[in-house]
Structures are given as structure tokens and as C-alpha cells.
């Protein structure tokens, strides 16, 4: 090979190596591509890149050309061992004109037939920040007249490129570790936030919900969350996911009422190119995107009967076909469904598939409305105020009278309405202390005229502990009946009992009047 031809080939190698740098995300394949170009362009018989592993204190072949996987696996060297180990330890290149005459050449891979081949071996250190991180080595069939010093100079340039590849990959790995740590911290923070929110409760009903969440979270069981809108079903579903072994995998929420049936099916199961007008390319569905994670089907009662049948098949078999495809796909997802309607009644009326209801109702959890756990209201208000204070960069405090008035309101929109109301306070309140005047004016705007005065009345403060207990005794400690005698609402009497701190002294029985709203049982 004449000198001009050799120089041209070397330039080709460098050009190809620079193009390969875009593949450095996949380090092993990028290194193999470099060695392939190096060997093919410069007629080198074998080539290998050996990198140092600090944990093992050994050099391992990371990529090669001309070696089988078995031969690669045998290429392990301690620093200072053999030619490869010496080049790594000293940081100096080495040329062995004929390996048969070099006792330090170990031929550990067994790839070279030393008794038949006359092979020259060239090795250069791979340097990064003045420190050897590995060795680049090549085999050449021995030929007279080859300028090996020129080859070494060229290999050192290639080794420099390899070092940059390794550095880039290490930076990517560090970034990935950092992102994983950030993601873990974020998930931990979110989990704590969710847990704090759910734990902002003293009511037995919500404590029961939390107990059920902790019991079902580690399992694969399908969960059905029931309760009125705004009670925190999405939050509960996310908490179940975050407390499960699937916490690091996707949590995909699908609102079954937000899309028309045809679009919802496409979103759920995905579609192939040409499946319908506008399907210009194939698209995986949300079920595929949630593989190994959790799918939250909100407002499940809004699914059409046809789509219910397809969902039933998926829940039973965990398999489906994309729209426009006959290929059956399988995914591993956990199903959590939610509804604010009575699915059992809907099933009896033929408006919801009974078999799907039974599949979903493996582990039902009923989340009570806020009006049934008003004892939690102060804790919830303080929790939401703390969260909003970070968003609005100010602290808001409610006076006792303001808090008392809020406890008189029945909150038909539940926790969601409470959150929206408190955010409105941050916007409208000119002072950091919110008085009963602003609370009353805002609540009266959302109350029917005939209820506004009654719902916001403060319960009579003159009722003593003894008087309340005496009335409760007469009604077998049923709050609703005692409240009626006193001319109070159930909530007013309950709040007065809490204010006096006598809950533990009396065996309270709720005795609530029949509810007009759905109660999920």
C-alpha cells in the first residue's frame, strides 16, 4: 500500500469515526463500529478496545473486531499483566513486530494461531484527563517496510476519539443517575404530599379508606373507587400506585367521559396507519404506554356497552388488538376504576355490563363525601392553605369565626370545591387574615337564597356540656334526633360537641337522616 493511499484511508477512518460519535449513546455498538472501520480500511486482522473496571480492578474487552464472544470473554487482564496490562499501567504505546517472539504476549483470547501466523501487535493507551482508562490494540499481518510508528500515531488519534466516546457515555450515565435520583425524590415528595393529604383526617371513614389503600396497594388486584365527584378518587388511585411495586412505572389516567366513543377506543387500544380517516401513522394506545404500570379509568360508568365488552376482554385476558390490526398484543397493567354512580344499580338496569362490574369490583373502596366527615375540615383547610401558600408566595390565615362559618357549609363539590374556594380566597383577600365577612359573602353566592341564612348560622354558644349530654341521653345518643330537639342541624350540633371536646365522653351514634345524594353502597 503506497503512502498516499494509506493517508487517504486514514482520513476515511477518521471521517467515519466522527460520524459514529452520534451513536455514543449506545457505547458498545459505537465502539464496534469504530473497530470495524479501522480494520476494514487499514487491513488490520483483529482489533479490540479494552476498558478498565475499577470495581473488579481488571481490564475487560468492551468491543472487538475479529473475535468471537467466547474469545472476548477470555480477554481479561490485571493492570501490568501482559502487553495490554503494561500499556495500561505505563500509559505508553507498544509495538510487537512478531508476537511469536514476545514472551509478554499472552494470547489470552486464543484467537491467534501463533504457530502459523506472523502477526504484529500494536497497542496504545486510551487516555482521559491524563489517566489511562483502557487500551486500543490491533493485529497486523507482519510485513516488511511498514512504518509502525506512523500506525501508532494514527491509533493514538483513534484512541482519543474512543476516550471522548467513553466520556460522553459516562456523562450520560451520570445524568441518568441524577435524573433517577431527582425522579425518586419527586416521587417521594409527591407520595408524602398525597399521604399527608389523605392522612389529614380524623374521621373513622377516612381512616378506613387509608387502611384499605395500604392493604390493596402491594397486590395486583383491580380496585373500584366509589364516591361523589371531588372526594379525591384520583388522589386515592395515585396513592395506591405510589405505594405499589409499580411505583416507578407509568400511571396513566383515562377519563372515560371526556372523549367520544370512537376516539376513546383509539386512545385506549391504539390504531394502525389507515385505520380511519386521519390515521396517517400507527400509534400505540394508552394501555401500551402503561405497560408494567397502572391504568386509572375515571368515570368508568360512561363507557358504551360496546366498549365495555372490549374492556372486559382486556381485563380477563390482558390482550387486545389495535384499531385496524389483527395482531394480538399483550400488556401487563393494573386496573383502577372510579365512578360517582352506583354501578350495581346500573348493571341491574342493563346500563352497565354485570360481568364487567364483577371484574371491576374485586376490591371496592368507598370514599365518603366531605359533609360526612366535617371533623376533617380544619385539617384539610390547613393542609390546602400550606400548599397554596407556596404557589402564591403568601401565607393566609382564617380567623376562628371564618373557620366556623366554613364548617356550616355542606360542600356539595367536596374536597375539589374546598380547594377551589380556598384558592379564590388567595386571589380576593387583601389581607393575610381572612375574616368571616369575606367567607360569608363568598358562600352566600353559591347557596340557594332560602338556605343561605340557615346554612351559615353559628350554633348557639350558650349550650353547655351538661345540656348537650342530657339531650343526647334522652335520644339514646343519636345526634340527629338530639339536634332536632335543640333546633340545630346535625352539623351544628356535631361541631359544638367537637368544640367542647366531649366526643370521647359519650357513645355517639350518628343516626343521619336519609341522604338524597349517591352514597355508594
> pLDDT by residue for the chain (521 residues), tens digit each?
555 555 656 666 666 666 655 555 567 788 888 888 777 766 677 889 999 998 889 999 988 888 888 888 888 999 999 899 999 999 999 988 887 777 777 777 776 665 556 788 899 999 998 899 999 998 877 665 667 787 888 888 888 888 888 888 888 777 777 666 656 555 555 556 556 666 567 788 888 998 899 899 999 999 999 999 889 899 899 989 988 999 889 999 998 888 787 788 888 888 888 887 777 888 888 899 999 999 999 999 999 898 999 999 999 888 888 888 888 899 999 999 999 999 999 999 999 999 999 999 999 999 999 888 888 888 888 888 988 998 888 999 998 888 888 888 888 889 889 999 999 999 888 888 888 888 888 887 665 544 444 444 444 455 677 778 888 888 888 888 888 777 777 777 777 787 677 777 777 554 444 343 333 33
Domain co-membership, 313 together with 394: no
User: Is residue 510 domain-resident?
Assistant: no
CATH number of residue 145's parent domain: 3.30.450.40
One domain, residues 413 and 292 = no
Q: Same domain for 247 and 156?
A: no
| Residue 84 sits in the same domain as residue 31 | yes
The verdict on 298 and 361 lying in the same domain is: yes
- Is the same domain home to 22 and 167? yes
Domain presence at residue 107: yes
From residue 72, alpha-carbon distances to 57, 89, 284, 341 in Å are: 18, 21, 39, 64
Query: What φ, ψ does residue 49 adopt, rounded to 5°?
Result: -120, 120
Task: Give me the CATH number covering residue 225.
Answer: 3.40.50.300
Let me know whether 245 and 143 are in one domain: no
Q: Cα–Cα distance between 272 and 283 in angstroms, integer?
A: 6
Q: pLDDT value at position 7?
A: 60
Q: Are residues 353 and 381 in the same domain?
A: no
DSSP secondary structure, 484-506, as one string: HHHT--HHHHHHHHHHHT-GGGS
Question: In this structure, what is the dihedral angle of CA atoms 339, 342, 346, 349, given to the nearest 10 degrees?
Answer: -170
- Prediction pTM value: 0.53
Whole-number pLDDT of residue 312: 92
> Could you give the number of structural domains in the chain?
4
**Domain presence at residue 208:** no
Q: Domain containing 480: what range?
A: 465-505
- What pLDDT does 334 receive? 94
Residue 349 sits at φ, ψ, to 5 deg, of -85, 0
Report the CATH number that the domain containing residue 390 is assigned in CATH.
1.10.8.60
Same domain, 10 and 84: yes
* CATH code (residue 471): 1.10.10
Amino acid at each position: 500500500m503506497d503512502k498516499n493511499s494509506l493517508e487517504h484511508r486514514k482520513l476515511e477512518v477518521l471521517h467515519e469515526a466522527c460520524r459514529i460519535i452520534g451513536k455514543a449513546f449506545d457505547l458498545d455498538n459505537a465502539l464496534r463500529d469504530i473497530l470495524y472501520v479501522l480494520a476494514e480500511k487499514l487491513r488490520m486482522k483483529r482489533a479490540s478496545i479494552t476498558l478498565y473496571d475499577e470495581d473488579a480492578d481488571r481490564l475487560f474487552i468492551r468491543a472487538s473486531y475479529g473475535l468471537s464472544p467466547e474469545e472476548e470473554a477470555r480477554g481479561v487482564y490485571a493492570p501490568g499483566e501482559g502487553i495490554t496490562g503494561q500499556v495500561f499501567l505505563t500509559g505508553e504505546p507498544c509495538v510487537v513486530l512478531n508476537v511469536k517472539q514476545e514472551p509478554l504476549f499472552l494470547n489470552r483470547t486464543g484467537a491467534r494461531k501463533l504457530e502459523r501466523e506472523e502477526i504484529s501487535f500494536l497497542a496504545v493507551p486510551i487516555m482521559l484527563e491524563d489517566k489511562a482508562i483502557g487500551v486500543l490494540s490491533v493485529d497486523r499481518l507482519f510485513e516488511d517496510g511498514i512504518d509502525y510508528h506512523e500506525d501508532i500515531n494514527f491509533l493514538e488519534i483513534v484512541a482519543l476519539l474512543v476516550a471522548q466516546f467513553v466520556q460522553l457515555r459516562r456523562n450520560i450515565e451520570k445524568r441518568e443517575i441524577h435524573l433517577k435520583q431527582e425522579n425518586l425524590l419527586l416521587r417521594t415528595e409527591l407520595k408524602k404530599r398525597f399521604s399527608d393529604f389523605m392522612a389529614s383526617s380524623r374521621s373513622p371513614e377516612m381512616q378506613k379508606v387509608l387502611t384499605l389503600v395500604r392493604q390493596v396497594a402491594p397486590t395486583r388486584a383491580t380496585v373500584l373507587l366509589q364516591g361523589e365527584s371531588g372526594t379525591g378518587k384520583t388522589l386515592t388511585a395515585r396513592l395506591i400506585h405510589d405505594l405499589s411495586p409499580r411505583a416507578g412505572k407509568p400511571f396513566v389516567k383515562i377519563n372515560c367521559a371526556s372523549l367520544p366513543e370512537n376516539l376513546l377506543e383509539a386512545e385506549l387500544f391504539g390504531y394502525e396507519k389507515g385505520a380511519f380517516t386521519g390515521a396517517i401513522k400507527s400509534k400505540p394506545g394508552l394501555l401500551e404506554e402503561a405497560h408494567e404500570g397502572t391504568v386509572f379509568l375515571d368515570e368508568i360508568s360512561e363507557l358504551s356497552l360496546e366498549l365495555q365488552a372490549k374492556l372486559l376482554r382486556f381485563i380477563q385476558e390482558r390482550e387486545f388488538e389495535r384499531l385496524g390490526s389483527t395482531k394480538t398484543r399483550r400488556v401487563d397493567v393494573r386496573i383502577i376504576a372510579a365512578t360517582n354512580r352506583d354501578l350495581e344499580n346500573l348493571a341491574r338496569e342493563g346500563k352497565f355490563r354485570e360481568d364487567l362490574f364483577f371484574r371491576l369490583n374485586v376490591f371496592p373502596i368507598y370514599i365518603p363525601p366531605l359533609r360526612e366527615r366535617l371533623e376533617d375540615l380544619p385539617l384539610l383547610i390547613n393542609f390546602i392553605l400550606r400548599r397554596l401558600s407556596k404557589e402564591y408566595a403568601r401565607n393566609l390565615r382564617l380567623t376562628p369565626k371564618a373557620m366556623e362559618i366554613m364548617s356550616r357549609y355542606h360542600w356539595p363539590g367536596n374536597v375539589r370545591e374546598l380547594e377551589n374556594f380556598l384558592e379564590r380566597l388567595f386571589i380576593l383577600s387583601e389581607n393575610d387574615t381572612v375574616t368571616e365577612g369575606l367567607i360569608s359573602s363568598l358562600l352566600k353566592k353559591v347557596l340557594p337564597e332560602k338556605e343561605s341564612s340557615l346554612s351559615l348560622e353559628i350554633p348557639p354558644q350558650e349550650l353547655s356540656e351538661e345540656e348537650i349530654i342530657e339531650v343526647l341521653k334522652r335520644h339514646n345518643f343519636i345526634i340527629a334526633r338530639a339536634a332536632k330537639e335543640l333546633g340545630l342541624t346535625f352539623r351544628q350540633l356535631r361541631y359544638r360537641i367537637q368544640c367542647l371536646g366531649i366526643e370521647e365522653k359519650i357513645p355517639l351514634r350518628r343516626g343521619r337522616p336519609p341522604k338524597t345524594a349517591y352514597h355508594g353502597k
